[in-house]
Amino acid sequence: MALKPTRRAVLFTMSALVIVGAAMIGVGGPPAPRVALTPGQAFEMAAAREILLIDIRRPDEWRATGVPEFGTPLDMRQPDFTTQLAKLSGGDFTAPIALICARGVRSARLSSRLVSAGFTNVIDVPEGMLGSRTGPGWLRRGLPVKSGA
């Protein structure tokens, strides 16, 4: 049974609108706001307990370089990462949480995922521990670290 040309055109148009709309929204949901801190700012704010600073790298990376002073190590690969982060924030999804990794790539990606999970105040430290195109990083700035477990 052939569709009438008008009905076919309407179906085609509606399908195209759905596809374009989905592409505009993006598969991963809304992008995370790009709030960023330098390592120095993150250190000062974590020391003052104004942010929760989370080192999302792997345990071998923590052992190699240490963890930022006043930071909390939490491996982003853990299946219960979001649950553990919620516990660390006292269940407050509006608490300011700053993420740091080696060079800012993983922290930027994870920021988007956490916003999609309901965290509303996610902050990136894009220089990371080792530095990136945005700056020299935590270690080269001479900021303090504690032993990585």
Q: What is the pLDDT along the chain (149 residues), one digit of tens a residue?
A: 555 556 665 545 544 444 444 444 444 444 444 689 999 999 999 999 999 999 999 999 999 999 999 999 999 999 999 999 999 999 999 999 999 999 999 999 999 999 999 999 999 999 999 999 999 999 999 999 999 76
Round to whole Å and give the CA distance between 119 and 13.
Answer: 36
Structural domain including 136 reads 39-146
Model-level pTM?
0.77
14 and 73 within one domain: no
Q: Is residue 34 part of a domain?
A: no
Q: Do the bridges between strand 145-146 and strand 67-68 make them parallel or antiparallel, or are there none, so unpaired? A: antiparallel
**Distances 147 to 64, 65, 71, 107 between C-alpha atoms, Å:** 9, 8, 11, 21
* Same domain as 18, residue 69: no
Domain for residue 90, yes or no?
yes
Check whether residue 43 and residue 116 sit in a common domain.
yes
- The separation between the first and the last C-alpha atoms of the chain, rounded to the nearest angstrom, is 68
Q: What is the pLDDT of residue 148?
A: 75
Tally of domains in the chain = 2
pLDDT of residue 35: 87
